[in-house]
Amino acid sequence: MFYPFLADYWNKRTSAKEKLPGSAMDTKEKLAQDIHNLRPLVDRIVVNFHWGVPYERIPSVKDQEKARFAIDCGADVIIV
């Protein structure tokens, strides 16, 4: 069995700006495309998001919506 891990980063606070370095941000469209392209090649898709507020145990409603989006796109497991 093959279980790929996709790691997505959606944190605008540390993202690269026009003239400042920072983290690369994946878009929802890119995530959907990655899941769509992997689906026929693997048994399960695991998505690991780097998001949220440190030490908060429950993801925000907005982050929960992102996780639901990944599931709706075909991901099998979400790790937050």
The tally of domains found in the chain comes to: 1
Range of the domain at 34: 5-79
Strand boundaries in 1-80, DSSP class E: 5-9, 46-50, 77-79
Cβ 49 vs Cβ 78: under 8 Å: yes
**Helix, strand, coil % in the chain, rounded to nearest 5:** 40, 20, 45
Token pair, residue 65, equals 């919506």
> pTM for the complete prediction?
0.76
Token pair, residue 17, equals 């700006």
pLDDT in tens, 5-55: 777 766 667 777 788 877 666 788 888 998 999 999 999 999 988 777 778
